[in-house]
Structure 1
Amino acid sequence: MRITLVGSRHFGVTTLNMLREHGVPVVRIVVADGADRLASAAKAAGIDVVVQANPKLVVASEIAPETDLIITAHSHARVGQDALAAAKLGGIGYHPSLLPRHRGKAAVEWTIKEGDPIAGGTIYHLAERMDAGAIAAQDWCFVKKGETARELWERALAPLGLKLLADVIDYATVHKALPAKPQDEQFATSAPSLS
């Protein structure tokens, strides 16, 4: 299972570390910013790093040859259809909400803002529309009273994302396919940036 990892920041690095500990070959890292900590971690591990030509779009030429699966981890770039077609199984990402609820950049913040008693995470297929692809895996957690978005992310949602990614990769390794359940559009809500 050859992975191209598209991402950034702390969650990108923890995803890279989880994949390496899991024995999954990460053949390339794609970042929007060459100074990002994920790029530094990849270079230190001897992994090829490519900086996106357009920080908002990942294209096929930026995906490593013979990639089986593209994984996004804290990436706000859209992975183009040509890039998805360059990987045998396409691509998946982690979204810190129970999709289709809270699609968008500020899912955790909206979970807190709306007073949701339950939060969750979803591994979803990358698609043309943001956060709208089929669901590969999903799980939930309770939100503590008074918890901030950052506290919820660090306590529950980031670890949940790593676990769900590992589960989906294990499934794909065995079955040479990804689970896929369409999202129910009638329950879709958006979570645009609050700033």
Structure 2
Amino acid sequence: MNIFLSGRGFFAVQTAEALQEAGHRILGVASPRTRKGHTDDSEPLSWDRLRSWSFPRQIMWSEAAELRAHHIPDKVDVIVAAHSHAFIGRKTRARAALASIGYHPSLLPLHRGRDAIRWTIRDGDKVTGGTVYHLTERTDGGPIAAQEHVLVPPGSTPESLWREHLAPLGVRLLLRVVNDLANDRCVEVPQDERLATWEPAMDSPPLFKPELIALAGKSTPRAKSEASRWALIDG
């Protein structure tokens, strides 16, 4: 299978290497121009890890923030988003012959949003997991291709839960789905919107949500939960 991979950091590199070891071909990658905290890309040591990984292998690199359809090479079968925060639009996704998939570190449709792991820890969840889903116009809302749960160990931090459990799970699930697609098996299970939750990024500015006045007055546990989450963000 011919793959275009959009992502960042060690997770994207581990995904790329796992795909290559399984016999798939990486035709191009997209990542941030530099690692977090760097602004000058004149020094290769400041580059994002996926960009650094692609350079000696002569794999075409594009900046994720500017990813467009014309950046996707011909004959790409699958676009893989591995810790990619850049939205991949409809025209760009259409460049993939078979599918565009991404990994989210939660049991979708629970904990949609950029800070899923931090909200998992903040909410005291005992069970979480990872989901590979088909990319659509709706953020984290596309049909599910693969999903597995994990128990949250006591004392976990967002960093330890990601590094020790959810990142390795993500590599394995992405590889499984790509292998399925290579064998003409395409799984697409719609997400149940009745169970969906969405939390904003924890480092986002305070939001004014007047509809929470009505929401907080409702008696359902779901309504109270959503109201309390927004109240935490709004300070």
Shared fold, TM over 0.5: yes
Identity fraction in percent? 42
Q: Take 1:11 and 1:33, find their aligned partners in 2: how far apart are those partners?
A: 16
Q: Take 1:174 and 1:120, find their aligned partners in 2: how far apart are those partners?
A: 25
Deviation at 1:131, TM superposition (A): 0.4
Counterparts of 1:6-21 in structure 2 under 5 Å? Answer: 6-21=6-21
Instruction: Confirm or deny that 1:187 pairs with 2:195.
Output: yes
Residue of structure 1 aligned with 2:86, choices 77, 88, 103 = 77
Counterparts of 1:1-195 in structure 2 under 5 Å? Answer: 1-33=1-33, 35-52=47-64, 55=65, 58-175=67-184, 177-195=185-203
Q: Take 2:131 and 2:186, find their aligned partners in 1: how far apart are those partners?
A: 14
Q: Take 2:143 and 2:61, find their aligned partners in 1: how far apart are those partners?
A: 28
What is the CA deviation profile of residues 67-122 of structure 1, one whole-angstrom value per residue up to 9, with x for unaligned ones? 10000111101101001111111300000000000001000111111111001000
Q: Take 2:124 and 2:146, find their aligned partners in 1: how far apart are those partners?
A: 24
Q: Cα RMSD (Å) of the superposition?
A: 1.2
Deviation at 1:18, TM superposition (A): 1.0
Which of the two has higher C-alpha Rg? 2
Q: Take 1:18 and 1:129, find their aligned partners in 2: how far apart are those partners?
A: 28
Deviation at 1:17, TM superposition (A): 1.2
What is the CA deviation profile of residues 133-171 of structure 1, one whole-angstrom value per residue up to 9, with x for unaligned ones? 000000000001121111111111001101111111111
Q: TM-score, normalised by structure 2?
A: 0.78
Deviation at 1:32, TM superposition (A): 3.0
Q: Take 2:30 and 2:165, find their aligned partners in 1: how far apart are those partners?
A: 26
How many equivalent residue pairs? Answer: 191
Q: TM-score, normalised by structure 1?
A: 0.94
For CA contacts below 8 A with separation 6 or more, give which structure has more relative contact order: 1
Structure 1 segments, 4+ long, off by >4 Å, are: none
Q: Take 1:103 and 1:27, find their aligned partners in 2: how far apart are those partners?
A: 29
Local SS of the residue matching 2:109: coil
Unpaired runs of 5+ residues, structure 2, are 35-46, 204-235
The one-letter code of the counterpart of 2:57 is: A
Deviates more, 1:12-21 or 1:123-132: 12-21
The one-letter code of the counterpart of 2:94 is: A
Deviation at 1:28, TM superposition (A): 0.5
2:206 matched to which residue of 1?
none
Unpaired runs of 5+ residues, structure 1, are none
